[in-house]
Amino acid sequence: PGLGADPRGLCGAASEVSPGKDTPSGHWELAGLPVPWDWHYFPETRPAFPADLSAAVAAAAGSGGILGNCHASGTVILEQLGAEHMRSGWPICYTSADSVFQIAAHEERFGLKRLLELCQAVAPRLHAMKVGRVIARPFVGSVEAGFTRTANRHDYAIRPPQPVLTNWVQQAGRRVYAVGKIGDIFSMEGIDELRKGTDAELMQHLADLVATAEEGSLTFANFVEFDSLYGHRRDVSGYARALEWFDTSVGPLLARLRPGDLMLFTADHGNDPSWTGTDHTRERVPVLVAGRGAGPLGQVAFADVAASIADHLDVPAQGPGRSFLPAR
């Protein structure tokens, strides 16, 4: 139902030029900066990490070693090693097909503050290797009841090496609001205010900013649960329910846009829940725009998103993209 309706916005598909299919690559390029280097990826072997790196992490943790040291699903590895972590107190370290080093630890047995300090301490070493992110993956629970990851995740990402959209807007004297993981992804570069929470809470933050954000400001939001709860787990029905929830939630926001507002929807990568494996999928992403007329955009570049937003806000763009917005 509704597929025969006349579009009331702009629609197209964006392609990425950066070689990765990961969160920093996609977000940096959407913000006007294609990744200028090749990320470091850990081999799908056991152990996956160099011995000196594992020793450095263990030393920073004050433990006798690390657990994991492999490619793994974040939920599966808790099932496999959660009990051993509770016994030994050693951090669980793992990676994926993305350029990441992830550390999981129990919020009480190991300590949330200690986990965050550990990730912060080892991040410079990983960043020097061109590993994109060190991710703190805290969890709670028990051997008897099972373990569950919490919302206290924190990403320690490499800072973008050049100014990105958030910097362009901030340098023009405008306010920049970040919703969700955006603060972590950009290491708070060019961001004035950060709001975090579950996707349901993020939608409320977005609704509040639609109503209250300063004139000429930028709000940059990331809704992660499509990826974390449904995409990686290849949960097709869950992904469909999330899309229905999102569609139902944004409808009222579109109706509340003020004259001159623009709202753009896109993605930093694919995560097809019907595909094999558990990793991101590299594919074109949708670009949907409300507030600047209606019609097809065709195929555009990720970096064109940043150039188009800069064009709408009337701030100078510094990246390689070109605005796809029609003249006002």
Instruction: Kindly state whether residues 123 and 236 are assigned to the same domain.
Output: no
Assess if residue 262 is contained within a domain. Answer: yes
**Tokens in use for 174?**
């405008």
Assess if residue 2 is contained within a domain. Answer: no
pLDDT for 1: 60
Instruction: Kindly state whether residues 167 and 105 are assigned to the same domain.
Output: no
Specify burial of residue 262 (Cβ count, 10 A radius: 0-12, 13-18, 19+): middle
Q: For 243-281, write each residue's pLDDT tens digit.
A: 999 999 999 999 999 999 999 999 999 999 999 988 888
The residue from 157, 191, 207 where one domain ends is 157
Question: Do 26 and 34 touch, CB atoms closer than 8 A?
Answer: no
- Residue 308 sits in a domain whose CATH number is 3.40.720.10
Q: Is the pLDDT of residue 5 over 90?
A: no
- Residue 83 sits in a domain whose CATH number is 3.30.70.1250
**Residue 62: other Cβ atoms inside 10 A:** 10
Q: Estimate to the nearest angstrom the gap between the alpha carbon of 310 and the chain centroid.
A: 21
Chain position carrying tokens 């594919």? 283
Sequence-distant (≥ 6) Cβ neighbours of residue 223 within 8 angstroms: 180, 199, 202, 203, 246
Q: Estimate to the nearest angstrom the gap between the alpha carbon of 275 and the chain centroid.
A: 20
pLDDT for 280: 87
Mean pLDDT is lowest, of 196-200, 229-233, 287-291, 317-321, for: 229-233
Instruction: Kindly state whether residues 198 and 260 are assigned to the same domain.
Output: yes
Instruction: Kindly state whether residues 125 and 108 are assigned to the same domain.
Output: yes
Sequence-distant (≥ 6) Cβ neighbours of residue 41 within 8 angstroms: 97, 98, 99
In the chain, what's the furthest Cα-to-Cα distance?
64
pLDDT for 22: 87
Assess if residue 322 is contained within a domain. Answer: no
pLDDT for 233: 85
Sequence-distant (≥ 6) Cβ neighbours of residue 61 within 8 angstroms: 90, 91, 114, 118
pLDDT for 281: 87
d(CA 125, CA 131): 9
Question: Do 181 and 24 touch, CB atoms closer than 8 A?
Answer: no
Assess if residue 15 is contained within a domain. Answer: yes
Domain that holds residue 148: 51-157
Instruction: Kindly state whether residues 73 and 144 are assigned to the same domain.
Output: yes
Write the DSSP string, 49-79.
Answer: S-HHHHHHHHHHHTSS--EEEEE--HHHHHH
**Structural domain total, the chain:** 2
Assess if residue 110 is contained within a domain. Answer: yes
Instruction: Kindly state whether residues 285 and 171 are assigned to the same domain.
Output: yes
pLDDT for 3: 77
d(CA 189, CA 181): 13
Assess if residue 249 is contained within a domain. Answer: yes
Instruction: Kindly state whether residues 165 and 149 are assigned to the same domain.
Output: no
Instruction: Kindly state whether residues 188 and 89 are assigned to the same domain.
Output: no
Q: For 89-116, write each residue's pLDDT tens digit.
A: 999 999 998 899 999 999 999 999 999 9
Assess if residue 319 is contained within a domain. Answer: no
**Tokens in use for 53?**
């790196």
Instruction: Kindly state whether residues 290 and 177 are assigned to the same domain.
Output: yes
Mean pLDDT of the chain: 95
Instruction: Kindly state whether residues 96 and 113 are assigned to the same domain.
Output: yes
Instruction: Kindly state whether residues 230 and 299 are assigned to the same domain.
Output: yes
Q: For 206-232, write each residue's pLDDT tens digit.
A: 999 999 999 999 999 999 999 888 988
Instruction: Kindly state whether residues 201 and 307 are assigned to the same domain.
Output: yes
pLDDT for 282: 84
The residue from 105, 137, 157 where one domain ends is 157
The residue from 107, 128, 157 where one domain ends is 157
Mean pLDDT calculated for residue range 115-131:
98
Mean pLDDT calculated for residue range 231-236:
90
Question: Do 78 and 140 touch, CB atoms closer than 8 A?
Answer: no
Confidence of residue 122 (pLDDT cuts 50, 70, 90): very high
Assess if residue 258 is contained within a domain. Answer: yes
